[in-house]
Amino acid sequence: MPHDATAPLQSPIDLTHAVPVPGLRPLDFRYRAGDIVQSVTLSIHNGACQQGRLQAVPILAVTLRPNAGLLRVGADAYRLRSLHWHTPADHALDGRRPGMEMHLVHTHEQTGALLVVGVHYREQPYPSTTAPLLPIFSRFAELKSAATFPPPQLDLPELLPHAPRRYTSYRYDGSLTTADDDGVFREGVQWIVLRDQAPVSVALIHAHRALVDADLRDLHFDGRETFDFQRPRPQGNARALQDRAGRTIETEA
C-alpha cells in the first residue's frame, strides 16, 4: 500500500476516499461460539502524551482460547487472539465516528504479524445480537472492584455484521491505537475495517461509555496499588484521528 515513507504510519484515520482494487484477497471468517473465552480483564493502557504525561486509557479486553477462531485473507491464516471496544469508534467515515468500534486482534499463523479487524456498530433502540455483552460492560461499571470477570459464553459470529454475500472492507497499514510503556504506538499493523456495520443497542454503548469514563479511583486494576490517578484522560477511550500520510486505503472493487 503506497504511502509517504518519511511520515509515521499511525492509526486511527478517516477512511474516506478509499480506492477500489480489483482482486482484493477475500475475507473468510471462521469464528466459533461457546466456551472460547479465557478471561475478561479491565486494564489501563497508555494513550497520547498530554501536558508531558501519558493519557490513561481504560480497555476492557476479552482474551480468547486458541481454538476461538481463524481469519483467512486469501491464502494467509490469522489466529484470533482477543477483542476489545472503543467508544466512540476509533476510525471515522466522512469525519464522523460511529458510537462504538470493536477490534478483533489476530496474529499470522507463521510470522506472528499483527492484523486487526475493526467493526463499527450501528445504534438502534432495541436489543440486538450483541446484547450478551451488556452484562459484561455493566458489571464492571457497577462493581468497580475486580479487574477480572468469570469467562462468559460468547458467540463470535453474532458479533460480526450479517453481510448478505461477502464482507467488504477498508484496508491499510497502520499502528496500534494504544501505546507501550514508552508512549510508542507500535506500527506494522495491518488494518481491515469492515464496511458493513453491526447493530447494537443504545444501552450497550452507554454501558461501555460509563465503564471507560468511570472515576479510576473507584476501580482496582490488577493489584496495582500505586497507580497514578492524576493522569490525563481522553474523551471515552478512542485515540485522536491521525494523519493519513499519503497512504492508500484499499477497498473491494
Mean pLDDT calculated for residue range 139-158? 68
Q: Are strands 114-124 and 169-175 parallel, antiparallel or unpaired?
A: unpaired
Domain boundaries, the chain: 19-252
Report the predicted TM-score, pTM, of the whole model to 2 decimal places: 0.90
What pLDDT does residue 225 have?
Answer: 44
| CATH code assigned to 19-252 | 3.10.200.10
Q: Please indicate whether residue 156 or residue 143 has the higher confidence score (pLDDT).
A: 156
Q: Does the pLDDT value for residue 68 go beyond 70?
A: yes
Q: 39: closest CA among 61, 58, 57, 59?
A: 61
Average pLDDT of the chain is 86
Q: pLDDT digit string (tens) for 209-218? A: 988 887 766 5
Please tell me which of 37-41, 123-127, 187-191 the model is most confident about, judged by mean pLDDT: 187-191
Mean pLDDT calculated for residue range 15-33? 96
Q: Please indicate whether residue 247 or residue 218 has the higher confidence score (pLDDT).
A: 247
Mean pLDDT calculated for residue range 109-120? 97
Q: Does the pLDDT value for residue 224 go beyond 60?
A: no
What pLDDT does residue 246 have?
Answer: 93
Q: pLDDT digit string (tens) for 77-104? A: 999 999 999 999 999 999 999 999 999 9
Q: Does the pLDDT value for residue 226 go beyond 50?
A: no
What pLDDT does residue 181 have?
Answer: 85
Q: Please indicate whether residue 232 or residue 23 has the higher confidence score (pLDDT).
A: 23
Tell me the percentage of the chain whose pLDDT exceeds 90: 55
